Amino acid sequence: MTTWNEPSERQILKEPATESSSSPSLAPHPVLTDYYADGDQRQSRVDAMFDASAPHYDWIISMMSFGSGRRYRAEAMHRHGLAAGMKVLDVGSGTGLLALIAQETVGESGRVVAVDPSEGMLAEARQNGVRETVVATGDKMPLEDDQFDLLSMGYALRHVADLEATFAEYRRVLKPDGKVLLLEITRPQNRLGFFLLRLYLRGLVPLVTRMIRRSPEAQELMRYYWDTIENCVPPETILDALRAAGFREVKRHTVLGIFSEYTGVA
């Protein structure tokens, strides 16, 4: 397994960021000033939260989903076409939850690449068994055109800077007729459902995280997790952005009214 001191084809480091004064054309949510002052600070601040929380992340996800998260992810990946021999790109891979599912399915004849801007999260992913990692943001990936059969993203769409630029990059790296699959949590439209989900994700989950893991950074990350859900653009905006990037057969499948599965064909 590749280590941080041995960069190779299995680990491609992020290129130095270039300065830009332009604001994102379509951010997934407005600036959240409880966490960063403006859009220019967003990426570094979010990366720092994930880096600090990385050792706790898998425990938190398992706890908050009552242990069902991996099963649902696997079902969603297979429902939307994951198969042996595929080349899969998992963006916003974090600790590798989707990438590991993909590795198990594609086998030795396939390939799975995990992309994430957080070095801490990808370090956990490699410890978990993810073989190929790339430190990068989804809108600027050091990968060649037309490489992948399936691009997955699990609950990280809310953390990109620009939906339009990100989706254009996704289409670039997918093969013709390749598929994109975006898993997300969507704010409930029902007032009672919204109240209960907010109470759980912004109240109970951060509290339990702080009590059990004794990590104020992980507690803050889980509060941020909900705040991005609450302030995220509506599903129609995401679907329109996929179409604008050139994806066809764009659809949204929902589970229990809050889990959204966005798909499109390159």
Domains and CATH numbers, the chain: 68-186+234-265 (3.40.50.150)
H helix intervals, 80-155: 97-106, 119-128
Q: Phi, psi at residue 85, to the nearest 5°?
A: 85, -5
For 72-86, write each residue's pLDDT tens digit: 999 999 999 999 999
* Helices vs strands, H then E, count in the chain: 9, 8
The Cα 150–Cα 175 span in angstroms is 8
Residue bearing tokens 């649902």 = 72
Select from 89, 102, 100 the least CA-distant residue to 12: 89
pLDDT score at 153? 98
Pairing mode, strands 259-265 and 248-255:
antiparallel
Determine if the pTM surpasses 0.85.
yes
With a pLDDT cut of 90, the percent of the chain lying above it is 87
Q: Could you read off the pLDDT of 113-147 as tens digits, one per residue? A: 999 999 999 999 999 999 999 999 999 999 999 99
CA angle (264, 99, 88) in 5-degree steps: 45
The predicted pLDDT at position 173 comes to: 99
CB atoms under 10 Å from CB of 67, counted, come to 10
121-137: b (≥16 Cβ within 10 Å) or e? bbbbbbeeebbbbbbbb
CA distances from 139 to 86, 136, 166 (A): 22, 8, 4
* Beta sheet of 87-91, edge-to-edge order: 11-12, 133-135, 111-116, 87-91, 148-154, 174-185, 259-265, 248-255
- Which tokens hold the place of 136? 């990068």
The CA-based diameter of the chain, rounded to the nearest angstrom, is 51
Residue range 150-165, pLDDT digits in tens: 999 999 999 999 999 9
Segment 176-232, tens digit of pLDDT: 999 999 999 999 999 999 999 999 999 999 999 999 999 999 999 999 999 999 999
C-alpha closest to that of 99 among 120, 121, 79, 119: 121
